[in-house]
Structure 1
Amino acid sequence: MSHALPIKARRCQDHVPGTSSVSSSYLSSSPIAQDIIARDLAECLDDYHGGNESWDSDTVSESESDSQEMTGTLGGPLISRPSGIAYGTLRPTIAAGATGTPALNPRDLIKSRHEERSLLRDNHILPPKHPRPFEESRWKQLYRRLFSTKVPASSDDDFGPALSRASTKALESTPLLSNSYPPYSPTESETEFQWEAAVAANILKTTWQREAQTLTQYSRSLIVTFLLHYSVTVTSVFTVGRIGRLELGAVSLATMTANITCYAPVQGLSTCLDTLCAQAYGSGHKKLVGLQLQRMTYLLWMLLLPIGTLWWFSGSVLGRIIPDPDTAALAGLYLRVLILGTPGVAAFESGKRFVQAQGLFHATTFVLLVGAPLNIAANWFFVWRLGFGFAGAASAVVFTQNLLPFLLFLYVRFVEGMECWNGLSRRAFSNWGPMIKLALPGMIMVEAQYFAFEVLTLAASQFGSAHLAAQSVLVTVTSTTFNIPFPLSIAASTRVANLIGARMSGAARTSAKVALVAGCLVGLFNLSLLSSLRFKLPYLFTNDDEVASIVSKVLPICAVLQIFDSLAAISHGLLRGIGRQGIGTFTNLFSYYLIALPISFSTGWYLGWRLEGLWFGIAIGLAVVSSVELWYLHHADWEHAVEEAEMRLRSDEAHSTEFK
């Protein structure tokens, strides 16, 4: 068992801006990112003192001072803020790991104090919020036994003496709570003291009911947001499927090409903003967050020039690969129209990181609540009302891709988030080298994952237009179901990281078990859904009987795949929570390229299983991923993860004080 830091030391550490966010305590600081922030700060301050440019000197704002003051009064805060989120995730993917610790705001700290009090009440250290009546009905007793979050007390002396020892060791004076709760509510200082003492004594426990409740609260809004974002793709496939088989196959081919050549590089490069924006915000220089946003957006827009050129001539390029020239021509037409939407994609990917660094995760949800219905209306308007047909579906996608960043801009401008914006700056065109160096690993990782899966679409095209159209339906269905366990994995990662950062390894293990059970339940739900609707789901996307027949034959494999898919997503989230995301990265890439793809090609061609063989290989690959990661989690040293989290927190503190 690791020894707790002295309370005084923990408070001093909490006063360092950017080092107190336990939600990302398992992430190490990036020296490259620190160097970028330091350079930007030095250049901007030089311009400010020289009078060449109007620049906010980034002094700590009043709200941030309040945040720091509140942080200093909390020991081991439990912040429910996730990191490294990429909404609208496609098939099996690894959430890019951000580095750096975002600064806490008063809203985060209020939530943290609520979490702390709940755990203290559950462990019988604070008085209950609602005292239990002397007499209860049997139904209430049964309900409390099943759903109560209280930790069962094995004896009357479980917590009192342990808390007394910890408190005496920490401050040599302890206002002990007796076994019978006092008739008054504890003050803020008493609550703070009890939390510090309980953490130092390592006596806090949790229950599966508490963790199930917390994971539900963390994940429900994320699931809604992910599904809303992916609904843009689903709506397009729905619409095109009603036009014809050829068009359905073409949109699958075009989407695969767009993912590999544009969306994956853009998403991968923008992941460096998870680090840069978080560390700029966490260091107290909030205006630098807007500078990083501008710099990345300009870089991505420049990258779009060669991508747009490739897409313009994509019809002839795909015609050399795809046996059906008509499908290749339609895919090329779709991509030509999509060129107009790429600037919006780049701006939205950067904008999401801009608001996430400030903890405004609900901003994306509000934007999508408006954008998703408008996307449905746009598909109807362009395809059916104006009669654009297949090109109209692409036009609707372009409309939505440019609408989303505009809505996000309106949210930041008129609701919240403007504190990190200082206007357009010529500094956005400098200091690109270190940023590109930081961004390339994320791009390579995301690109490798996309390519490993999207190559199956190329393989499906070799079997004919019907199989390519069926592949489009299968990818859409399985990607939709994946957007349920993946947000749950982010919630599990956040919760486990919080508990590890608060030195509660036992509670972290309990939370991990609950997350895995939840993953199994989600997998079983998806399995039941795909199995029961095996013969009905295909006709939601197409009226072609041959395509529907192929989809219904492959859906049982996709249904079984849901179990492995959910477990793989949850287990990788848990690995992120204990700071072992590298294990999941290498396991996924190894399984995709050395197991899944060889099996897919062997069964698809040599055994003649065609599309069923391609998906069989993916199912085997995901089974290997989930098995390896679950085995590692079972044998992981969670106490060592706590010690490493401490070391990374101290590293964050050292890096922050270098240029603070």
Structure 2
Amino acid sequence: MPSSPRSQPIPARKESSIPSSHHDRHASLANSFLSTSPLAQEVLARDLAAFSDDEDIPVDTEVVDGSDHGEDDATQGPTLYRRPSGIAFGTTRPALALPLGHDDPALLTRTERARSRDAERSLLRDNHIIPPKHHHEPPPKGIAGQFSRLYKRLFSTKVPLPSSDEEAPRIIIGPDERAPLLGSTSRHPSDAPENLNEQWEAAVAAGQIRTTWQREAKTIAGYSKSLIVTFLLQYSLTVTSIFAVARLGTVELGAVTLATMTANITCYAPIQGLATSLDTLCAQAFGSGHKTLVGLQMQRMVYFLMLVLVPVMGVWWKSEEILIKLGIEQASAAFAGIYLRTIVLGAPAYAIFEAGKRFVLAQGLFHATTYVLLVAAPVNVLLNFLFVWKLGWGFKGAPMAVAITQNLLPLLLGLYVWKVEGKEAWGGFKKGALRNWGPMIRLALPGMIMVVAEWFAFEILTLLCGRIGVTTLAAQSVLVTITSTTFQIPFPLSIAGSTRVANLVGAKLVDAGKTSAKVTVFGGFLVGVFNLTILTVFRYQIPRLFTDDEDVINLVAKVLPVCALMQVFDGMAAVSHGLLRGIGKQEFGGYANLVCYYVVALPISFGLGFGLDWKLTGLWIGVTIGLGLVSLVEYAFIWASDWDQAAKEAENRNNAG
């Protein structure tokens, strides 16, 4: 039986296959907006055409199809569907990983291919289709045996064997002209690499591959743990400055959140959103076999982001005057202006780091940013302590520490690429990075709109708190920091869930994908309940970590029960976003978020906060209702979705890759 198209190698694109219309290497920026071809393919085709005449771009077929004869055993064989990788690490609020207009690339790196093959072999073992890795002795008799059987029943990842009146799974061996497809009932001596592909395809076709909640829980927990560390490390760069200035005074505490939220909505969110286009472009370039085109895409985005930063820096320089005109009190606006004018020094480095993250992610180097943050996060804490307290710089020291840390991030990432791995995709600076911007911008704008739209809803709440008073703004600062910190747990869980569901659905294991989705939902609920319990029990102790002002502490303690309830909906909404990404329906999540935030949540917040004069409590009740509605609508859509059709669409994307 020939292998299915899903497991066929992805051929390297050849220059001769590029349409002739793409061979005008000097196409103007205006003309680049007129093309009607798929955006990522258009960018790749134009780049190959542009460089085919004057540069010899090496083709690395190992990355694409694994057809190199020197390839080791670990990278051959079948592969599961690629995980969604377009994640903006360090986000403080919900952000869809693949915004509107993005296609999840079906390209696989060598590491992903090896892991996928190991996952398929493990599933075959757990379904009793190939022999187990180790021989298991029968459990002992007596009490010890009972405990052994109970432990195995609770934690074993193996699918229970069918009852005696059902036909047991057959051990699949290599295809044979004289034997049935599923082979004989006798065990094959080994799960040889040359047979694994046939075993997997036949087992899937026969509907023999199932999974258990134990396996899915173990897998999702394994995916989540490193992501949680990475998210917490990057978010610590922001929260450290809040802790550093919190003890300086109520005005300073409110001003630092006002400044960081303004920086988010005017700079960080747009940059993260625009950079998500590299999740598609860099992956397509890397998968084409022309590794150096990955560096070209990154350069192009960096140049574009530098132009975007020019007006942003102008806004930050005049931020004090702008905030006063928006109704913020003079003292808070002044401190916020100081913060923003100082972190201007780190904005270009932040943009470079966001593009650099996509550069390494496209190559499958997922731990690169974690290693960078393991160095940068402690340095940031040390700088905040040194500048704010030791040297006596006060409030000015916090943004200076942030700016220095932001400049350190791309330097550390560049050092990692240069000295450890990833430099083969660089290729040096190229003039071609100044051309062919149109498709890139068209791909980037939907990502920016999606991310900014969600951030802007929370920026509005912060600005409204600034109009109420200094104490309310300081309390909002504490609440935003708390809820953003707790969000760093369910959001990575949602990424892990989307990864696993995408893998299983893309491998045409729809029932297994549904099992994994249920485990992820339950995990998101447990995380939400855990966060709810912590915030409720310690609602008077937590605000004291930020300030000694009793008015602020009492106001935070008053609103924290609402924020605690929000944790359940926040976790469930994060997971629903992830599941939508996993089945390729993220567009619906984008629309649902926009409607629920702007049509439901914000009007309720305005009505309760100002119409009924519930102030800060009313503002957070509106957000909580909005998140609850988001999760309800998205889960209803997921429940009603045709998962079999999602599997077919995933297979089509794989074939198109």
Q: With the length of structure 2 as denominator, give the TM-score of the two structures.
A: 0.91
Post-superposition CA distance 1:199-222 (Å, at most 9, x none): 222220000000000001111100
Aligned partner of 1:146 in structure 2 is: 154
Q: Which amino acid aligns with 1:85?
A: I
Query: d(CA) in 2 for partners of 1:405 and 1:609?
Result: 44
Matches within 5 A, 1:182-221: 184-221=189-226
Which one of 43, 46, 51 corresponds to residue 53 of structure 2? Answer: 46
Question: 1:204–1:129: structure 2 CA closer, same or farther, 3 Å change rule?
Answer: same
Contact 1:82 1:494 in 2 (8 A): yes
Which one of 2, 19, 29 corresponds to residue 7 of structure 1? Answer: 2
Aligned partner of 2:42 in structure 1 is: 35
Question: 1:502–1:367: structure 2 CA closer, same or farther, 3 Å change rule?
Answer: same
Determine whether 1:133 maps to 2:137.
yes
Determine whether 1:280 maps to 2:288.
no
Aligned partner of 1:657 in structure 2 is: none
Determine whether 1:448 maps to 2:453.
yes
Query: d(CA) in 2 for partners of 1:479 and 1:68?
Result: 46
Determine whether 1:92 maps to 2:94.
yes
- Mean CA deviation greater in 483-492 or 70-79: 70-79
Contact 1:341 1:402 in 2 (8 A): yes
Determine whether 1:574 maps to 2:579.
yes
Aligned partner of 2:274 in structure 1 is: 269
Which one of 90, 98, 109 corresponds to residue 105 of structure 1? Answer: 109
Contact 1:125 1:159 in 2 (8 A): no
Contact 2:356 2:410 in 1 (8 A): yes
Which one of 539, 548, 556 corresponds to residue 551 of structure 1? Answer: 556
Using the TM superposition, give the Cα deviation of residue 109 of structure 1 relative to its aligned residue in structure 2, in angstroms: 2.5
Query: d(CA) in 2 for partners of 1:9 and 1:509?
Result: 23
Question: 1:612–1:44: structure 2 CA closer, same or farther, 3 Å change rule?
Answer: same
Query: d(CA) in 2 for partners of 1:67 and 1:357?
Result: 20
Question: 1:361–1:158: structure 2 CA closer, same or farther, 3 Å change rule?
Answer: farther
Contact 2:3 2:201 in 1 (8 A): no
Query: d(CA) in 1 for partners of 2:308 and 2:644?
Result: 44
Aligned partner of 1:488 in structure 2 is: 493
Query: d(CA) in 1 for partners of 2:310 and 2:6?
Result: 50
Question: 1:360–1:160: structure 2 CA closer, same or farther, 3 Å change rule?
Answer: same
Question: 1:627–1:103: structure 2 CA closer, same or farther, 3 Å change rule?
Answer: closer
Q: Which amino acid aligns with 1:298?
A: Y
Matches within 5 A, 1:11-30: 13-17=8-12
Query: d(CA) in 2 for partners of 1:17 and 1:242?
Result: 58
Using the TM superposition, give the Cα deviation of residue 39 of structure 1 relative to its aligned residue in structure 2, in angstroms: 0.8
Contact 1:571 1:626 in 2 (8 A): yes
Query: d(CA) in 1 for partners of 2:178 and 2:417?
Result: 49
Query: d(CA) in 2 for partners of 1:67 and 1:487?
Result: 34
Contiguous gaps of at least 5 residues in structure 2: 14-35
Question: 1:289–1:423: structure 2 CA closer, same or farther, 3 Å change rule?
Answer: same
Contact 1:281 1:289 in 2 (8 A): yes
Contact 2:77 2:193 in 1 (8 A): no
Query: d(CA) in 2 for partners of 1:426 and 1:117?
Result: 46
Task: Give the count of matched residue pairs.
Answer: 627
Using the TM superposition, give the Cα deviation of residue 9 of structure 1 relative to its aligned residue in structure 2, in angstroms: 4.5
Q: Which amino acid aligns with 1:140?
A: S
Post-superposition CA distance 1:312-333 (Å, at most 9, x none): 1111111111341111111111
Query: d(CA) in 1 for partners of 2:228 and 2:510?
Result: 27
Contact 1:10 1:75 in 2 (8 A): no
Query: d(CA) in 2 for partners of 1:122 and 1:156?
Result: 18
Contact 2:81 2:654 in 1 (8 A): no
Contact 1:247 1:327 in 2 (8 A): yes
Please state whether the residue corresponding to 1:131 is helix, strand or coil: coil
Which one of 538, 542, 545 corresponds to residue 533 of structure 1? Answer: 538
Determine whether 1:408 maps to 2:403.
no
Using the TM superposition, give the Cα deviation of residue 78 of structure 1 relative to its aligned residue in structure 2, in angstroms: 2.6
Question: 1:158–1:119: structure 2 CA closer, same or farther, 3 Å change rule?
Answer: farther
Using the TM superposition, give the Cα deviation of residue 190 of structure 1 relative to its aligned residue in structure 2, in angstroms: 2.8
Contact 1:268 1:447 in 2 (8 A): yes
Aligned partner of 2:326 in structure 1 is: 321
Question: 1:124–1:335: structure 2 CA closer, same or farther, 3 Å change rule?
Answer: same
Question: 1:544–1:179: structure 2 CA closer, same or farther, 3 Å change rule?
Answer: farther
Query: d(CA) in 2 for partners of 1:302 and 1:360?
Result: 28
Q: Which amino acid aligns with 2:136?
A: R
Contact 2:475 2:555 in 1 (8 A): yes
Using the TM superposition, give the Cα deviation of residue 251 of structure 1 relative to its aligned residue in structure 2, in angstroms: 0.9
- Mean CA deviation greater in 320-329 or 547-556: 320-329
Percent identity among equivalent residues? 55
Question: 1:65–1:121: structure 2 CA closer, same or farther, 3 Å change rule?
Answer: closer
Please state whether the residue corresponding to 2:314 is helix, strand or coil: helix
- Mean CA deviation greater in 345-354 or 75-84: 75-84
Query: d(CA) in 1 for partners of 2:249 and 2:68?
Result: 59
Q: Which amino acid aligns with 1:123?
A: N
Using the TM superposition, give the Cα deviation of residue 100 of structure 1 relative to its aligned residue in structure 2, in angstroms: 4.9
Please state whether the residue corresponding to 1:642 is helix, strand or coil: helix
Determine whether 1:120 maps to 2:128.
no
RMSD between aligned alpha carbons? 2.3
Q: With the length of structure 1 as denominator, give the TM-score of the two structures.
A: 0.91
Query: d(CA) in 2 for partners of 1:564 and 1:236?
Result: 28
Question: 1:17–1:501: structure 2 CA closer, same or farther, 3 Å change rule?
Answer: farther
Q: Which amino acid aligns with 2:2?
A: I
Contact 1:355 1:363 in 2 (8 A): yes
Post-superposition CA distance 1:23-67 (Å, at most 9, x none): xxxxxx98111111111111112222xxxxxxx413225666646
Question: 1:172–1:613: structure 2 CA closer, same or farther, 3 Å change rule?
Answer: farther
Please state whether the residue corresponding to 2:647 is helix, strand or coil: helix
Please state whether the residue corresponding to 1:250 is helix, strand or coil: helix
Using the TM superposition, give the Cα deviation of residue 180 of structure 1 relative to its aligned residue in structure 2, in angstroms: 6.4
Aligned partner of 2:375 in structure 1 is: 370
Contact 1:163 1:197 in 2 (8 A): no
Using the TM superposition, give the Cα deviation of residue 173 of structure 1 relative to its aligned residue in structure 2, in angstroms: 3.8
Using the TM superposition, give the Cα deviation of residue 426 of structure 1 relative to its aligned residue in structure 2, in angstroms: 1.3
Please state whether the residue corresponding to 1:462 is helix, strand or coil: helix
Query: d(CA) in 2 for partners of 1:385 and 1:630?
Result: 51
Query: d(CA) in 2 for partners of 1:646 and 1:80?
Result: 11
Contact 1:80 1:495 in 2 (8 A): no
Using the TM superposition, give the Cα deviation of residue 148 of structure 1 relative to its aligned residue in structure 2, in angstroms: 0.5
Query: d(CA) in 2 for partners of 1:66 and 1:74?
Result: 7
Using the TM superposition, give the Cα deviation of residue 101 of structure 1 relative to its aligned residue in structure 2, in angstroms: 2.7
Question: 1:423–1:519: structure 2 CA closer, same or farther, 3 Å change rule?
Answer: same
Which one of 286, 298, 315 corresponds to residue 293 of structure 1? Answer: 298
Using the TM superposition, give the Cα deviation of residue 191 of structure 1 relative to its aligned residue in structure 2, in angstroms: 2.8
Query: d(CA) in 2 for partners of 1:380 and 1:410?
Result: 26
Question: 1:542–1:421: structure 2 CA closer, same or farther, 3 Å change rule?
Answer: same
Contact 1:564 1:619 in 2 (8 A): yes
Contact 1:575 1:584 in 2 (8 A): yes
Using the TM superposition, give the Cα deviation of residue 246 of structure 1 relative to its aligned residue in structure 2, in angstroms: 0.4
Query: d(CA) in 1 for partners of 2:363 and 2:274?
Result: 20
Aligned partner of 2:17 in structure 1 is: none
